[in-house]
Structure 1
Amino acid sequence: MRLTVASGVAAFAAAFLLYPLFQGGSWFWTSLGAVLAVMAAGLLSSRLSLPAWAAPLVALLAVWVYLTAAFASAKAWAWVVPTRGSVVELGRLLGVGWTDIQRFAAPVPETEGITLLTAGGVALIAIAVDLLAARLRRAALAGLPLLALATVPATILPDPISWPAFILAALGFIGLLIADGRERVGHWGRAVLVRRTTRATSSRSDARTSADTSGLRLSGKRIGFAAIALAVLVPALLPAMEPVSFFTFGVGGSGSGRGNSISIPNPIAGLKGQLELPERRVVLTYANDDDKPRYLRIYALDTFDGQQFGMTQPNGAVQNRTDNGPLPPPPGLGPQPKVKTVT
């Protein structure tokens, strides 16, 4: 049962990585309820000693009942028992949620459909983690579905992952590994004492039915915390370019405050969401001193791969560094044109 609880905690801790995708927090509480439903189903399966293949089915049934009560209670029997009408309503909300995801750019508004999709997705991750860790006893492999939650904001948002959310998710996974280690070591048998002191001590030791795992647990925590600290601190000491930086800080990152970051967001990825915003929104303002309209260009999509346009990757050279002196003249510029230097 300890692994079932640890699996649910790890899944919900990883779900914190999704918060930049939403404008509000209702998805948080709805997803928490879905994870609790999976945990309750897992505890029931452990209590009844159900086979490994049956536990996910019980969890799916529990999630179905929970989502029915949360989103289609008006058409369910006694507000919780699924009926044909509640199934149709959940299907309609899923379709609406999928359409909303295609229309809105992150952070998205929390419509019922989007919240239903999020809670259902987090529940599926929790079921997969419980199956791998608590049923199949492959806690390390349970990190793969948890990693799937981390890849969602990493692939959708141009901003790096929030390091506090990463630490929280990593702590959940470390807790799952520690719980799995305690389960394995605790089944080894009686503890073996190297030195006996008194007959009373020896009799008490013989009464033990499981090994003492406190020392191993402490070592596991130290290793886990050290790994998390290195995973967070090492990127902060390395040069970072924002399109590929992992956290919101680092040498050259947006959080360093040094003004030497390089940010080239993908224009195609954000164009569709910006064009289909449901309300008017100011995205750019500028002013000039000659009252003449200027053609404003942000991107030059100069490549085409047969399916979509893109930008040529920038190639920097040592001689183009501004700390080595003025920039070299552009290729083809002769002495005839009048050049004005602007700082």
Structure 2
Amino acid sequence: MRDRHLGFVAAAATLLAAAPLSTIFERWTWLIQCTVAVALVAGAATLARSLRAPLWAQLLGMLVTLTLVLTLMFSSGEELLAIIPMPGTFAHFGELMTFAVEDMRSYGVPVPDRVGLQFLTVLGVGSVAILVDLLTVGLRRPALAGLPMLAIYSVPVAVYTDSVHPLPFVIGAVGFLWLLVADNVDRVRRFGRRFTGDGRDVDVWEPSPLAAAGRRLAVVGVALAVLLPSPCPA
């Protein structure tokens, strides 16, 4: 149950980390597609863990699910039963990657809905969702999950010649902090009961003073990350 909760938090944090991509696209089609892909990947991981599958089987299940989602969303017409990929499907994926590269050269931001760019976005966000789930739930290293999440943020930073609006960064940072909080709460609950600094026992339903301090530090940290670069030269 705890791993299931943490897996869904990892999926939600991945979608929040994808918020900076909103500055690239004119419409929100990419977000709907990425939400479906990430939700199904998280569902596949949860199912595998509920069956007590080993880590490699969980990873395989997520990869297969992402492949099926891409096949369904960006079909070539050569699939078996409309969802099982065939060799022509992967050739079509290669063509979509080529289209994406051409669109990057031809269009300025924000770009319209282009099938190649949408395919690349769903593939990228879905892959990040797999890595975040693997690092957070499988390997219990949620701090390392910030690296693939940061890779998403680097896309608009590389595309825009001017500075990127801070709001998407704040949303992504909140998702990462939520992931860290959820993991640490789970670790504390696995360890035993909570205590205050003076040794007083804290029930599960009571707010933790340490957690409250952590939330305040997180707000200050995100605020400083947004405000400090603003007076710095480009």
Same fold by TM-score, threshold 0.5 exceeded?
yes
Cα deviation for residue 119 of structure 1 reads 0.7
CA distance in 1, matches of 2:103, 2:214: 44
Q: Which residue identity lines up with residue 77 of structure 1 in the other structure? A: L
Cα deviation for residue 106 of structure 1 reads 2.9
Report whether the alignment pairs 1:32 with 2:38. no
Structure 1 or 2, whichever has the larger Rg, is: 1
Within 5 A, what are the aligned runs for 1:5-44? 5-44=8-47
> Corresponding residue for 1:309?
none
Asked if 2 retains the 8 angstrom alpha-carbon contact of 1:4 and 1:43, the reply is: yes
Is the helix fraction higher in 1 or 2?
A: 2
Q: Which residue identity lines up with residue 120 of structure 1 in the other structure? A: L
Q: Which residue identity lines up with residue 44 of structure 1 in the other structure? A: L
> Corresponding residue for 1:100?
103
- Structure of greater relative contact order (alpha carbons < 8 Å, 6+ residues apart): 2
Which deviates the most, 25-34 or 63-72? 25-34
CA distance in 1, matches of 2:26, 2:176: 27
User: Would the alpha carbon gap of residues 73 and 2 (structure 1) be closer, same or farther in structure 2, given more than 3 Å must change?
Assistant: farther
> Aligned-residue CA RMSD in angstroms?
2.6
Within 5 A, what are the aligned runs for 1:53-202? 53-72=56-75, 74-190=77-193
Find the residue that maps to 1:53 and give its secondary structure. Answer: helix
Which deviates the most, 155-164 or 171-180? 155-164
CA distance in 1, matches of 2:138, 2:120: 26
CA distance in 1, matches of 2:113, 2:42: 25
> Corresponding residue for 1:222?
216
Cα deviation for residue 170 of structure 1 reads 0.7
Find the residue that maps to 2:191 and give its secondary structure. Answer: coil
Q: What are the superposed Cα offsets for residues 32-85 of structure 1, whole Å, 9 maximum, x if unpaired? A: 222112211221222122222332221111011111111107432333222333
- Report % sequence identity: 34
> Structure 2 stretches of 5 or more lacking a match?
none
Find the residue that maps to 1:142 and give its secondary structure. Answer: helix
Q: What are the superposed Cα offsets for residues 207-231 of structure 1, whole Å, 9 maximum, x if unpaired? A: x9xx778414433323222221222
Within 5 A, what are the aligned runs for 1:284-295? none
CA distance in 2, matches of 1:139, 1:214: 23
CA distance in 1, matches of 2:170, 2:43: 26
Which deviates the most, 123-132 or 24-33? 24-33
CA distance in 2, matches of 1:179, 1:221: 12
> Corresponding residue for 1:270?
none
TM-score (norm 2): 0.86
> Structure 1 stretches of 5 or more lacking a match?
197-204, 245-343
CA distance in 1, matches of 2:64, 2:110: 31
CA distance in 2, matches of 1:195, 1:50: 40
